Chains A and B, each alone.
Chain A
Amino acid sequence: MSDPRLVSILIPAVGGQGGGVLSEWIVEAALADGVLAHSTSIPGVAQRTGSTSYYIEVFAGGTGEAPAFSLYPVPGALDVLLAPEFLEVGRAIELGFPSPSRTTIIASMHRLYSIHEKIATGRGIHPIEQLEAAARAFSRSLIAFDALAVAREHDTEVNAVLLGALAGSGVLPVRADAFRAAIERKGVGVTANLKGFEVGLDLALRRDAPPAPREAAPAPSPNVARFATAIAPFPESLQPVLAEALARLVDYQDRAYAERYLARLRPFVDADVELAGLVARHLAVWMTYEDAIRVADLKSRAGRLDRIRREVRARDAEIVVTDYLKPDLDEIYGILPYRLVAPFARWAERRWPHGRPTLGAHVRTTTVAGYLRLWLLARCRRLRPISYRAHHEHARMERWLAAVAKCAERDFGLAREVARAAQLVKGYGDVRRRMTVAFEHLVESVLAAAALEAGRGDGFGVSTGLAGRYRALVLGGPEGEAPAASLAARVLERLRAADRRGALELLEAPRG
């Protein structure tokens, strides 16, 4: 155990978060309060979104003689972890800095996502629950809240709020007034920062009070009432999803279209409710695929411009909105009647096998002329049911539903995975084409695997596992698509060679 008069503070920040100012405030406050203090930092390439860290030691020794300050935080000997971002808490824990017996963790729970979390095609975000659990497990006491939300609410800065929380935590031998004085001396955004400091201070002092639930339980959607009669025949658990789905479909096309959806769904309800829930969700999303008409419709909605005004806090300022639209030929003839354009489409697809020409447009949606272009396009919705795109999309949906149904005859677990695969069908233009190819290859491979497994009677572990792994790989990012395809090929190979165990080994996700 080291000298109790020596208190160490690590601030693991992300470039541009003002960690430097925060550490200056702390040092200045300590010095002004007659406490020896020193700090150092690893700005690294801070301004450029990298991880950066500041380290401070304060010493409330009597003699005035300076201790042998360390320039590094010592894993396991850290008193305070003051984190302006929540993933950095995880990183500090990974590096072994905070210890359950000693460290007070004060952290903002908001996230600045790492590029690696952003570039996944699906969900690459580190589970916040896991970070929270880790912070609790590796701290003697924990003060964690969304300091960014607090800062926004009070029109101040995250680092000022955290400074207040630090003062309120009472771990430093420095008076609150000394911190206030430090903010004033530093002279940047004094009023805003002082406000932030008080809010943080207050939060930390009231930390023993039961924390307010982060978000209240969502109120039942009005759609449940709106479609009460339509969803009544369906199981309780399905009704909320169905209500949303129906609202979406009516909004997208019309009542008849919503009826068609229910008709497609019904067979699964009798089979397995969980499966039906998955189909209900993915089918609704797929049936409301984003064609040019839908995009124009969404972008010409009443209230969109008000939403944008709020986003940019326009208040009484004027705004000019320019939409970046660039449909390719497919999307353009996709909204025209199938009979009319099918031959042309076939020709175009032969003429330009890798991506059709595109039509770039910058639409000034805040001008009447610009808005009209979107508004008129949105009016083409009547054409949609007979459109070229509808023809193909619905054919694909039918193939998917048939596959799910076929799998449901064999095993519900398998059927659910095939239903989930529809999550892959998303994006526009080339992206959507690419994802559709991956999706259809997934379904095809899984059906083949299931057929092979059906013969043997040791269940459908391989096919189910394949469906899951395949989807995970594709959702990991484009570089996962080729490996997914080859994985499927190798799995089928082994199944054909009656090597079930071998096939299962292939499906074990790599560790880490």
Chain B
Amino acid sequence: MERSFAEDVKQLGYGAGQVLRGEGILAITKALLQSGVSYVGGYPGAPVSHLLDVMADANAPLLEPMGIYFEMSGSEAAAAALLGASINYPMRGAATWKSVVGTNVASDALSHVASAGVLGGALVVIGEDYGEGASILQERTHSAALKSSIPLLDPRNSLQAFARFVEEGFGLSEACNEPVFFSIRIRACHMRGTLVCKDNVRPRIGMRSPLAAPSFSLERINLPPFTYAMEAQKFEHRLPAARRYIREHGLNEHHRGEEEHLGVVMQGGLWNTTVRGLHLLGLADVYGKTPVPLLVLNALHPLVPEELVGFMRGKRLLLVVEEGMPNYIERELKALAHEEKLDVEIHGKDLLSPHGEYVPHLVTGGLRRFVGLAGLRCQAGEAIEERYRALVDHREKVGAVLTRPVAKRPPSFCTGCPERPVFSAMKILRSKEPGVGDTHVAADIGCHTFSTQAPFNVGNSVLGYGMGLASSSAVAPMFGKRVISVMGDGGFWHNGLTNGVANAMYNKQDSVLVILDNFYTSATGQHPNPSTGTNARREPVAMTIPDALRGLGVRWIRTVNPYRIADFIGTLREALTTPTRGLKVIIAKGECMLERQRRERPRLRARAAAGARVVQPRFGVDPDVCTGDHSCMRLNGCPSLTLRENPDPLKDDPIAHVDDTCVGCGVCGEVAHAAVLCPSFYEVRTITNPGRWQRLLGRVRASVIRRLAAAT
């Protein structure tokens, strides 16, 4: 990890009254320290990675002196198991991960923690990776909270609110002896704002004030008969205690308004969107003051019947703004209204959308339909309609101007990425030797998932993190040729080692595994993993992928330089055709170029400035040699390999062009070579501050060449 978050770390040290400026996730991180946590862990993933990044940098200067234990866990399961510390000992702790996928990985440990219950407050900060910008399948975490009786907080969006609800979260957890989910959406994580800080609290139990004696109690062991008692506990004591806490601490907000015959119930995280919708329809001022009664549920589970009934009583119409399905809140309200025989008409998914992120135009549209049904005292229907039309009328005209749809921008590999050439190689082998190379490819989670996108479209399935190999277990035996599975080093260490490799070895799978070892878990932002050589606390570790493979009995292992495409094709061909049965592993080893450039570029610039000899390669295309068929783009897809207008007055088609973001990895030349495309590419090494001898040689060569060139 070359990046540093020094500025953020400094702010984590702020005391009472100081004003922190930064993103939502930083406020949450600060609030953990203000809550007196003894330990923090988690697995990186958007949108919550930053919590771990900052904690990692804060470990030495801030966490260790306070006696707080920090780890970047091996997986979300390990992070959830970390919370086990709070089962027996009254210490506060937090874990974080990307949800829903991380919660899925964590759920075994999580269920056990939730069943045994906790003495010390345990908070799980889940980054709800849902809607625009999400990189995973679209599910909500709500149901996980319900099944395990884990209270779920979804606070309204302001840094101050985030900090408050982290602290309340610990209080809630200790009041009901359950771990608590603190859910935060993507845009909220990245929201920049200010937080008025409190002092950090040194934990009572910490590495500086360790425990003396173990605590044992059969009631906390997840075995029958105690598990039955634990289940009873949840519903007889823990959830009721949680409801009591939520009510007494006013976690949910009931805003009254003149339009008493109607009301809007919403998830706290959707407060901003909802009041903006009301504002645009002329039903709220810019501060969110509105005549429409609102119930803002910052705590989504457990719901507090008294609060809901209290809000519904006397109303004719209700709108529930609830993102995701199933619509638990709407159903709960309908059930309660029925039990209490309230004459209230409850709308939600019918006026909004049953699925998808609740973006403003969707919520605004729903509110408009709702007030249309309800009728308002303060506003004439026409006025509202007019405001709504002002928002949407222009949209009909788009088609007339943009007759052709704007091209999509699928995410792809960075300039110089060591993973891209692996898929160039696979695509070349697929087209040139379909008998061998045109086979099933099980893709995995990571940057390399982009191999499934243009221009490669390599990868027939994506199943889960580190699951690539396992996902081909039943495909391999069904195929007339060997199949390929892909895995990154991140996925390998997270899950692939056991569920992938061990499983394949155990079941004698005869197939090929390509491991992309770029030294970091890059997709989440170049996070350290065992391949990095250090952990998140910068402590050296000696774990390597080949050693791990050998330990599991893998014998056919080849490590190749992915930038040498011809070599890679050769190795892949061998793996796919060798008579040797069993698992064959190719490790494509090359450092993440993004990380490498982050480190090298400034270093080289400094050396050059200091007068040292610096060699910088990059590639180019001869414009008069390129015929503009773009075959190179279809096999390469490097961002720096782009188009430019054809300088030739007799030709129409744009030609290839390498722009100055090129880092000279050499893949365009290698692709042109391996696929026998064209002679347009050349490499040019720029030698800054050359030696005297080299300068002289260069001058001699140049003059000879000039003479020859003139002799035509």
- Which of A's residues lie within 8 Å of B, judged by CB? 1-3, 5-6, 14-16, 24, 27, 38-45, 47-51, 55, 59, 61, 65-77, 87, 90-91, 93-94, 96, 99-101, 112-127, 130, 133-134, 137-138, 221, 241, 244-245, 248, 281, 284-285, 290, 295, 298-305, 308, 311-312, 314, 317-328, 355, 358, 360, 365-368, 371-372, 375, 423, 426-431, 435, 475, 477-478, 512
Residues of B within 8 A of A50 (CB): 409-412
**Is B287 touching A65 in the complex (CB atoms < 8 A)?**
yes
Report if B276 contacts A (CB, 8 A): yes
Q: A290-B627, A326-B676, A478-B634 are in contact. Are A74 and B193 (CB under 8 A)?
A: no
Tally of contacts, chain A with chain B, CB under 8 A: 338
Pick the interface stretch among B71-79, B173-181, B357-365, B534-542. Answer: B357-365
**Is A74 touching B391 in the complex (CB atoms < 8 A)?**
yes
Additional A-B contact list (17), CB under 8 Å, known A74-B360, A423-B652: A45-B411, A66-B158, A68-B287, A76-B391, A115-B410, A115-B633, A121-B629, A130-B403, A130-B404, A138-B398, A290-B625, A299-B622, A299-B679, A305-B702, A312-B684, A319-B686, A323-B681
Residue from B634, B649, B708 in contact with A244 in the complex, judged by beta carbons closer than 8 Å: B649
**Is A51 touching B391 in the complex (CB atoms < 8 A)?**
no
Residues of A within 8 A of B285 (CB): 3
Residue from B273, B361, B450, B634 in contact with A96 in the complex, judged by beta carbons closer than 8 Å: B361
Residues of A within 8 A of B624 (CB): 298
**Is A134 touching B401 in the complex (CB atoms < 8 A)?**
yes
Residues of B within 8 A of A96 (CB): 361, 392, 394-395, 398
Q: A72-B360, A326-B672 are in contact. Are A319 and B684 (CB under 8 A)?
A: yes
Pick the interface stretch among B499-507, B578-586, B635-643. Answer: B635-643
Closest residue of A by beta carbon distance from B634: A119
Residues of A within 8 A of B192 (CB): 24, 27, 38-40
Q: A76-B392, A126-B407 are in contact. Are A118 and B682 (CB under 8 A)?
A: no
B656-712 CB contacts (< 8 Å) to partner A:
669, 672-673, 676-679, 681-690, 694-695, 698, 701-702, 704-706, 708-710
**Is A48 touching B414 in the complex (CB atoms < 8 A)?**
yes
Report if B90 contacts A (CB, 8 A): no
Residues of B within 8 A of A426 (CB): 627-629, 653
**Is A314 touching B686 in the complex (CB atoms < 8 A)?**
yes
Please name 5 pairs of A and B residues whose Cβ atoms are closer than 8 Å in the assembled complex, sorted by A.
A48-B413, A68-B271, A123-B652, A245-B650, A295-B679
Report if B630 contacts A (CB, 8 A): yes
**In the bound complex, what is the Cα–Cα distance between A366 and B627 (angstroms)?**
24
Q: A96-B361, A285-B651 are in contact. Are A42 and B132 (CB under 8 A)?
A: yes
The 7 closest A-B pairs by CB, nearest first: A68-B288, A50-B411, A42-B133, A76-B391, A302-B709, A45-B411, A3-B286
Report if B186 contacts A (CB, 8 A): yes
Q: A112-B642, A115-B633 are in contact. Are A1 and B387 (CB under 8 A)?
A: yes
CB distance from A246 to the nearest CB of B (A): 11
**In the bound complex, what is the Cα–Cα distance between A76 and B397 (angstroms)?**
13
Residues of A within 8 A of B402 (CB): 90, 93-94, 130, 134
**Is B705 touching A305 in the complex (CB atoms < 8 A)?**
yes
Q: Give the secondary structure class of B's interface.
A: mixed
Pick from B392, B641, B677, B684 the residue with the most CB of A within 10 Å: B684
**In the bound complex, what is the Cα–Cα distance between A125 and B684 (angstroms)?**
28
**In the bound complex, what is the Cα–Cα distance between A47 and B523 (angstroms)?**
10
CB distance from B712 to the nearest CB of A (A): 8
**Is B394 touching A101 in the complex (CB atoms < 8 A)?**
yes
Residues of B within 8 A of A16 (CB): 414, 639
Pick from B276, B360, B708 the residue with the most CB of A within 10 Å: B276
Residues of A within 8 A of B407 (CB): 87, 114, 116-117, 124, 126
Pick from A27, A74, A124 the residue with the most CB of B within 10 Å: A74
Q: A43-B190, A114-B407, A427-B678 are in contact. Are A221 and B280 (CB under 8 A)?
A: no
How many chain B residues touch A (Cβ–Cβ < 8 Å)? Answer: 112
CB distance from B693 to the nearest CB of A (A): 11
Closest residue of A by beta carbon distance from B705: A371
**In the bound complex, what is the Cα–Cα distance between A184 and B639 (angstroms)?**
31
Residues of A within 8 A of B678 (CB): 427-429, 431
Residue from A49, A69, A90, A368 in contact with B704 in the complex, judged by beta carbons closer than 8 Å: A368
**In the bound complex, what is the Cα–Cα distance between A126 and B409 (angstroms)?**
13
**Is B187 touching A308 in the complex (CB atoms < 8 A)?**
no
**In the bound complex, what is the Cα–Cα distance between A11 and B186 (angstroms)?**
17
Residue from A45, A65, A114, A138 in contact with B408 in the complex, judged by beta carbons closer than 8 Å: A114
**Is B401 touching A130 in the complex (CB atoms < 8 A)?**
yes
Per-residue CB contact flags for chain B residues 365-399 toward chain A (1 = under 8 Å, else 0) read 00000000000000000000001001111110110
Report if B150 contacts A (CB, 8 A): no
**Is B684 touching A300 in the complex (CB atoms < 8 A)?**
no
Report if B317 contacts A (CB, 8 A): no
B284-298 CB contacts (< 8 Å) to partner A:
284-288
Per-residue CB contact flags for chain B residues 262-275 toward chain A (1 = under 8 Å, else 0) read 00000000011101
**Is B360 touching A44 in the complex (CB atoms < 8 A)?**
no
**In the bound complex, what is the Cα–Cα distance between A99 and B388 (angstroms)?**
13
Residue from A114, A248, A295 in contact with B650 in the complex, judged by beta carbons closer than 8 Å: A248
Residues of A within 8 A of B677 (CB): 428-429, 431
**Is B394 touching A299 in the complex (CB atoms < 8 A)?**
no
Residue from A48, A119, A295, A311 in contact with B455 in the complex, judged by beta carbons closer than 8 Å: A119
**In the bound complex, what is the Cα–Cα distance between A322 and B187 (angstroms)?**
47
Residues of A within 8 A of B398 (CB): 93-94, 96, 134, 138
CB distance from B271 to the nearest CB of A (A): 8
Q: A2-B279, A38-B193, A123-B653 are in contact. Are A298 and B395 (CB under 8 A)?
A: no
**Is A48 touching B450 in the complex (CB atoms < 8 A)?**
yes
**In the bound complex, what is the Cα–Cα distance between A125 and B643 (angstroms)?**
9
Residue from A99, A133, A319, A368 in contact with B401 in the complex, judged by beta carbons closer than 8 Å: A133
Report if B594 contacts A (CB, 8 A): yes
**Is A94 touching B709 in the complex (CB atoms < 8 A)?**
no
Q: A126-B406, A428-B679 are in contact. Are A49 and B287 (CB under 8 A)?
A: no
CB distance from B634 to the nearest CB of A (A): 5
Residues of B within 8 A of A15 (CB): 411
Residue from B364, B432, B705 in contact with A74 in the complex, judged by beta carbons closer than 8 Å: B364
**Is A113 touching B643 in the complex (CB atoms < 8 A)?**
yes
**Is B191 touching A368 in the complex (CB atoms < 8 A)?**
no
Q: A87-B406, A137-B397, A427-B631 are in contact. Are A301 and B709 (CB under 8 A)?
A: yes
**Is B272 touching A70 in the complex (CB atoms < 8 A)?**
yes
Report if B220 contacts A (CB, 8 A): no
**Is B630 touching A38 in the complex (CB atoms < 8 A)?**
no
Q: A59-B286, A119-B634 are in contact. Are A318 and B704 (CB under 8 A)?
A: no
**Is A324 touching B679 in the complex (CB atoms < 8 A)?**
yes
**In the bound complex, what is the Cα–Cα distance between A317 and B275 (angstroms)?**
61
Q: A40-B191, A94-B405, A366-B701 are in contact. Are A119 and B654 (CB under 8 A)?
A: no
Q: A372-B708, A431-B629 are in contact. Are A355 and B676 (CB under 8 A)?
A: yes
**Is A38 touching B394 in the complex (CB atoms < 8 A)?**
no
**In the bound complex, what is the Cα–Cα distance between A1 and B679 (angstroms)?**
60
**In the bound complex, what is the Cα–Cα distance between A320 and B683 (angstroms)?**
8
Q: A68-B275, A72-B360, A302-B706 are in contact. Are A90 and B406 (CB under 8 A)?
A: yes
**Is B405 touching A72 in the complex (CB atoms < 8 A)?**
no
Pick from A48, A117, A137, A302 the residue with the most CB of B within 10 Å: A48
CB distance from A423 to the nearest CB of B (A): 7
Q: A71-B187, A76-B392, A244-B650 are in contact. Are A49 and B688 (CB under 8 A)?
A: no
Residue from A72, A311, A368, A431 in contact with B701 in the complex, judged by beta carbons closer than 8 Å: A368
Q: A71-B188, A93-B401, A127-B404 are in contact. Are A318 and B698 (CB under 8 A)?
A: yes
Report if B127 contacts A (CB, 8 A): no
**Is A14 touching B409 in the complex (CB atoms < 8 A)?**
yes
CB distance from A263 to the nearest CB of B (A): 19
Residues of B within 8 A of A324 (CB): 669, 672-673, 679, 681-683
Q: A70-B276, A116-B454 are in contact. Are A431 and B631 (CB under 8 A)?
A: yes
Pick from B185, B284, B359, B622 the residue with the most CB of A within 10 Å: B622
Residues of A within 8 A of B575 (CB): none
